[in-house]
Protein backbone atom coordinates (compact mmCIF):
# COMPACT_ATOMS: atom_id res chain seq x y z
CA UNK A 1 0.00 0.00 0.00
CA UNK A 2 1.46 3.36 -1.05
CA UNK A 3 2.39 5.88 1.62
CA UNK A 4 0.95 9.40 1.65
CA UNK A 5 2.55 11.81 4.11
CA UNK A 6 0.16 14.68 4.70
CA UNK A 7 0.64 18.19 5.92
CA UNK A 8 -2.09 19.73 8.05
CA UNK A 9 -3.73 21.78 5.29
CA UNK A 10 -4.90 18.74 3.32
CA UNK A 11 -6.45 17.12 6.39
CA UNK A 12 -8.14 20.39 7.36
CA UNK A 13 -9.63 20.75 3.87
CA UNK A 14 -10.87 17.15 3.92
CA UNK A 15 -12.55 17.85 7.26
CA UNK A 16 -14.11 21.06 5.89
CA UNK A 17 -15.59 19.09 3.02
CA UNK A 18 -16.75 16.18 5.21
CA UNK A 19 -14.47 13.89 3.19
CA UNK A 20 -12.21 12.46 5.89
CA UNK A 21 -13.97 9.09 5.99
CA UNK A 22 -13.71 8.81 2.22
CA UNK A 23 -9.99 9.66 2.24
CA UNK A 24 -9.26 6.84 4.66
CA UNK A 25 -11.12 4.36 2.45
CA UNK A 26 -8.55 4.83 -0.30
CA UNK A 27 -5.85 2.18 -0.83
CA UNK A 28 -3.16 4.36 0.77
CA UNK A 29 -1.57 4.66 4.18
CA UNK A 30 -2.01 8.22 5.47
CA UNK A 31 0.81 9.25 7.78
CA UNK A 32 1.92 12.40 9.58
CA UNK A 33 5.09 13.01 11.58
CA UNK A 34 4.69 12.96 15.35
CA UNK A 35 5.67 16.61 15.74
CA UNK A 36 2.96 17.69 13.30
CA UNK A 37 0.39 15.53 15.06
CA UNK A 38 1.30 16.86 18.52
CA UNK A 39 1.42 20.52 17.51
CA UNK A 40 -1.42 20.75 15.02
CA UNK A 41 -3.78 17.78 15.19
CA UNK A 42 -3.90 16.19 18.65
CA UNK A 43 -6.27 18.80 20.10
CA UNK A 44 -8.12 19.37 16.83
CA UNK A 45 -9.75 16.06 15.97
CA UNK A 46 -6.64 13.96 16.48
CA UNK A 47 -8.48 11.08 18.14
CA UNK A 48 -10.97 10.91 15.26
CA UNK A 49 -8.12 10.88 12.73
CA UNK A 50 -6.40 8.03 14.57
CA UNK A 51 -9.66 6.09 14.71
CA UNK A 52 -10.03 6.53 10.94
CA UNK A 53 -6.56 5.08 10.40
CA UNK A 54 -4.13 8.00 10.45
CA UNK A 55 -0.65 6.79 11.35
CA UNK A 56 1.76 8.90 13.38
CA UNK A 57 5.44 8.29 12.70
CA UNK A 58 8.47 9.28 14.73
CA UNK A 59 11.43 10.59 12.79
CA UNK A 60 14.93 9.23 13.36
CA UNK A 61 17.73 11.56 14.43
CA UNK A 62 18.99 11.69 10.83
CA UNK A 63 15.51 12.55 9.56
CA UNK A 64 15.16 15.29 12.19
CA UNK A 65 18.49 16.74 11.04
CA UNK A 66 17.27 16.60 7.43
CA UNK A 67 14.13 18.47 8.47
CA UNK A 68 16.18 21.18 10.20
CA UNK A 69 18.41 21.44 7.12
CA UNK A 70 15.30 22.02 4.99
CA UNK A 71 14.14 24.68 7.44
CA UNK A 72 17.49 26.47 7.21
CA UNK A 73 17.13 26.35 3.43
CA UNK A 74 13.56 27.71 3.52
CA UNK A 75 12.98 29.54 6.83
CA UNK A 76 9.41 30.48 5.85
CA UNK A 77 8.35 26.82 6.16
CA UNK A 78 7.02 25.65 9.50
CA UNK A 79 8.76 22.95 11.50
CA UNK A 80 5.78 20.55 11.09
CA UNK A 81 5.92 21.06 7.31
CA UNK A 82 9.63 20.27 7.01
CA UNK A 83 9.12 17.24 9.27
CA UNK A 84 6.45 16.01 6.82
CA UNK A 85 8.87 16.54 3.94
CA UNK A 86 11.69 14.71 5.75
CA UNK A 87 9.37 11.79 6.50
CA UNK A 88 8.10 11.54 2.92
CA UNK A 89 11.65 11.69 1.62
CA UNK A 90 12.97 9.05 4.03
CA UNK A 91 10.08 6.64 3.48
CA UNK A 92 9.88 7.26 -0.27
CA UNK A 93 6.29 8.37 0.13
CA UNK A 94 4.22 10.99 -1.62
CA UNK A 95 3.88 14.33 0.13
CA UNK A 96 0.32 15.69 0.28
CA UNK A 97 0.41 19.46 0.59
CA UNK A 98 -1.34 22.59 -0.53
CA UNK A 99 1.66 24.79 0.31
CA UNK A 100 3.45 25.95 -2.85
CA UNK A 101 6.68 26.71 -0.97
CA UNK A 102 6.75 23.23 0.55
CA UNK A 103 5.88 21.69 -2.80
CA UNK A 104 8.73 23.58 -4.47
CA UNK A 105 11.30 22.38 -1.93
CA UNK A 106 9.97 18.83 -2.02
CA UNK A 107 10.22 18.74 -5.80
CA UNK A 108 13.78 20.06 -5.57
CA UNK A 109 14.57 17.22 -3.13
CA UNK A 110 13.06 14.61 -5.47
CA UNK A 111 9.92 13.97 -3.42
CA UNK A 112 6.69 13.36 -5.34
CA UNK A 113 4.03 15.89 -4.32
CA UNK A 114 0.29 15.78 -4.72
CA UNK A 115 -2.48 17.98 -3.45
CA UNK A 116 -6.09 17.88 -2.37
CA UNK A 117 -7.47 17.92 -5.92
CA UNK A 118 -5.38 14.86 -6.84
CA UNK A 119 -6.73 13.13 -3.74
CA UNK A 120 -10.30 13.93 -4.80
CA UNK A 121 -9.54 12.48 -8.24
CA UNK A 122 -8.30 9.33 -6.54
CA UNK A 123 -11.53 9.17 -4.53
CA UNK A 124 -13.60 9.31 -7.71
CA UNK A 125 -11.48 6.58 -9.32
CA UNK A 126 -11.93 4.44 -6.21
CA UNK A 127 -15.72 4.58 -6.16
CA UNK A 128 -16.48 7.56 -3.95
CA UNK A 129 -19.64 9.15 -5.31
CA UNK A 130 -19.32 12.19 -7.55
CA UNK A 131 -22.18 13.72 -5.58
CA UNK A 132 -20.21 13.50 -2.30
CA UNK A 133 -17.14 14.93 -3.98
CA UNK A 134 -19.14 17.77 -5.56
CA UNK A 135 -20.73 18.70 -2.23
CA UNK A 136 -17.43 18.39 -0.37
CA UNK A 137 -15.45 20.46 -2.85
CA UNK A 138 -18.12 23.17 -2.78
CA UNK A 139 -17.84 23.31 1.02
CA UNK A 140 -14.05 23.53 0.82
CA UNK A 141 -14.19 26.22 -1.87
CA UNK A 142 -16.62 28.37 0.14
CA UNK A 143 -14.24 28.62 3.09
CA UNK A 144 -12.57 32.04 3.23
CA UNK A 145 -9.11 30.46 3.57
CA UNK A 146 -9.46 28.25 0.50
CA UNK A 147 -6.43 28.65 -1.75
CA UNK A 148 -7.22 26.01 -4.34
CA UNK A 149 -6.83 27.09 -7.99
CA UNK A 150 -10.24 28.39 -9.07
CA UNK A 151 -10.02 27.03 -12.61
CA UNK A 152 -9.17 23.51 -11.47
CA UNK A 153 -11.88 23.60 -8.81
CA UNK A 154 -14.49 24.70 -11.36
CA UNK A 155 -13.39 21.99 -13.80
CA UNK A 156 -13.79 19.31 -11.15
CA UNK A 157 -17.14 20.65 -9.97
CA UNK A 158 -18.39 20.50 -13.56
CA UNK A 159 -16.99 16.99 -13.97
CA UNK A 160 -18.58 15.75 -10.74
CA UNK A 161 -21.90 17.34 -11.71
CA UNK A 162 -21.77 15.64 -15.12
CA UNK A 163 -21.08 12.24 -13.54
CA UNK A 164 -23.88 12.81 -11.02
CA UNK A 165 -26.30 13.77 -13.81
CA UNK A 166 -25.33 10.67 -15.74
CA UNK A 167 -24.23 12.71 -18.75
CA UNK A 168 -20.63 11.60 -18.45
CA UNK A 169 -18.59 8.75 -17.07
CA UNK A 170 -15.47 8.79 -14.96
How far from 18 is each of 58, 60, 117, 135, CA to CA, in Å?
A: 28, 33, 15, 9
| Predicted local distance difference test score (pLDDT) of residue 163 | 85
Cα 117 to the center of its chain, rounded Å = 9
Angle at 139 between CA 77 and CA 35, to 5 degrees: 30
pLDDT band at 21 (very low <50, low <70, confident <90, very high): very high
| Predicted local distance difference test score (pLDDT) of residue 1 | 67
The string of DSSP letters for the chain reads -EEEEE-HHHHHHHHHTT-HHHHTTSSEEEEEEHHHIIIIIIIIIIHHHHHHT-EEEPPPHHHHHHHHHHHHH-TTS-HHHHHHHHHHHHHT-EEE---HHHHHHHHHTT--EE-HHHHHHHHHHTT--HHHHHHHHHHHHHSTT--S-HHHHHHHHHHHHHHHHTSS--
CB 84 within 8 A of CB 95: yes
What is the rounded average pLDDT for all residues in the chain?
95
For the residues 143-166, what does the mean pLDDT come to? 91
pTM assigned to the model: 0.92
CA distance 92 to 95: 9
Q: Say if residue 168's pLDDT is above 90.
A: no
**What structural domains does the chain harbor?**
2-115 (3.40.50.1010), 117-165 (no CATH)
> Tell me: the pLDDT tens digits for 66-104?
999 999 999 999 999 999 999 999 999 999 999 999 999
| Predicted local distance difference test score (pLDDT) of residue 164 | 76
CA distance 40 to 43: 7
Between 169 and 158, name the one with better pLDDT: 158
> Tell me: the pLDDT tens digits for 40-75?
999 999 999 999 999 999 999 999 999 999 999 999
- The per-residue b/e assignment along 137-163, b for 16 or more CB within 10 angstroms, e otherwise, is bebbbeeeebebeeeebeebeebbeeb
Amino acid sequence: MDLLVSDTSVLVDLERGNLLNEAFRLPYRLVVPDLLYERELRNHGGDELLALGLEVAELTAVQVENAHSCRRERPALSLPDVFALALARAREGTLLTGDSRLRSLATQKGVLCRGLLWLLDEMLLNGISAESLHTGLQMIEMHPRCRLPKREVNARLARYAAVTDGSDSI
